[in-house]
Structure formats: structure tokens, C-alpha cells
Structure 1
Amino acid sequence: MSGAAEGGVRALLRVEGACVLFAACWLYAQSGYGWGVFALCFLAPDLAFLGYLAGPRVGACCYNATHAHVGAIACFVAGRLLAQPALLVAGLIWIAHVGFDRALGYGLKYASGFGDTHLGRIGRAARRAP
């Protein structure tokens, strides 16, 4: 699959994801919200997997919409600008989730299938690759 990061670039993107995860968790710790809220909401972006029930193109679109930093950062900034703590911490949890996924090597999806990501192939697609 072309378009996937390889080698040192892939490793750097995964380290960057870990840094984003830790920064978001550090900021969340300052928020005063409990870690139970964090744990409860952390996997919420993965509900986008349901888009794959409509096929790989729709699934990739849904997944990418909830796993790109732009929406998560917009949520965080809106919470800050509007002085809405719940929106701010939702953004932090969302940012942490995206960072976690990137650190594990789960990248944005291509319409060719769930296993084809910008960070390389994952799952069965990775095992089939030469």
C-alpha cells in the first residue's frame, strides 16, 4: 500500500502520539475532573467503528472524522473560549484517545480497508503484507 509512513518517520509519528497522549493526560489532571469520567469517555471515539457496517468507504470516513486531531482540538479550544469546562475536558479526553491510537500504530484509515492506515498496515492486512 502506498501512502503509508515507514521506518523512522513511522516511529517518530508514534512517539509524537505518545507525547500528545501524555500532554493531554497532564492537562486533564489539572482540570479537577475525576479519572472515572476519563475512563468512561476514553473509548467513545471508537463508536465510529459502526460506520464500517455501511462499508469500508463510510467506515473510513467515520473513523477519520473521530480520529483526526482537528475535531478534538476544536472541541478543546471551544471549551476554553466559551468557558465550558465539560467541553474542554471532552476535548482533552478526545485528544488523549487520538494520541493513544497513534502511539499504538493505529493511523487514519484509507477507504481500501480498515487495515490500511497512514501509519502502515495493521491487523490481518499487516500479516498478509510481504
Structure 2
Amino acid sequence: MTRTLLRLEGLAALAVAVWGYALTGASWWLFVGLLFAPDLSAVGYLRGPHVGAAMYNAAHTYAVPTLLAAVAYSAGWALGLPVALVWAAHIGLDRALGYGLKLPDGFHQTHLGPIGPARRA
């Protein structure tokens, strides 16, 4: 039940982020182009599971896009808010699909439970 609630929460965050993005009037090409950019943080796994999990989790917590949105709004940086909303949408999509923050045990272990081959085991 907890996993389901967290996935629904991710779906809600995704919906709000997409709605907010639509209100900005920014290009949908920007949205598509940046949607999976946070996954580039997985490159940290080349340095091992602890570094990989730390980098991945830093890019997959709502705190960072929320801070970016606040700074962009305060500074009048027009592009910052759409970028922050795409980032939040990505995180929401991940959570809705069952992909959580990574545990240092390995890429397939998340706070929402195992994913991929680890889930089938």
C-alpha cells in the first residue's frame, strides 16, 4: 500500500509539473529535450555504487528543482522556472513508474523497493 501511495504521489507531482510547465508558455521541445537529462547523473555509477547513488539521488530529489524555481523566480530568470518544472516532472515520472532514490547497495535497489532484475529475483 505504501509503495502504491508513493507512486500515486509521483503521478500527482508529474501532473502538476506538466500543468505548470504549460502555463509558462515555454517550448514543448525544451520539455522533451530536458525530460531525461537528470538521468545523466547515473554516470556516477562509473565510480562505484556509493558515488553513483549519491549523484543520482542529488539529481532525483524535489529539493533541487524547487530551489532552482525559487531562485529563478526571485532573480527574474525566465528560463529557470520551465527547467525546474521539467526536472520535477522527471522525478514525478520516475516515482510514478516505481523508480525511487537509489540505495548504495547497487543501482537496482531503491527506497521504493527493488527494480529490474533485482525485483524478479
- Shorter-chain TM range is over 0.9
Aligned-pair identity (%):
45
TM-score by length of 2: 0.98
Written as runs of structure 1 = structure 2, the 5 A alignment for 1:38-77 is: 38-77=31-70
Matches of 1:78 and 1:104 in 2, distance apart? 29
1:90 paired with 2:83, answer: yes
Matches of 1:38 and 1:78 in 2, distance apart? 20
Secondary structure of the 1:84 match is coil
Matches of 1:85 and 1:20 in 2, distance apart? 21
Secondary structure of the 1:116 match is strand
TM-score by length of 1: 0.91
The offset of 1:88, in angstroms, is 1.0
Corresponding residue pairs, total: 121
- Partner of residue 116, structure 1: 109
Dislocated runs of 4+, deviation >4 Å: none
- Partner of residue 35, structure 1: 28
- Partner of residue 4, structure 1: none
The offset of 1:127, in angstroms, is 1.1
Query: What is the root-mean-square deviation in Å for CA atoms of aligned residues?
Result: 0.6
Picking from 16, 20, 32, the partner of 1:23 is 16
Secondary structure of the 1:115 match is strand
- Partner of residue 5, structure 1: none
Secondary structure of the 2:4 match is helix
Matches of 1:23 and 1:77 in 2, distance apart? 16
Secondary structure of the 2:26 match is coil
Gaps of 5+ in 2: none
Q: One-letter code of the match for 1:69?
A: Y
Q: Deviations over 1:45-100 (max 9, x none)?
A: 00011111111111000100000111011111111111111111111110000000
- Partner of residue 3, structure 1: none
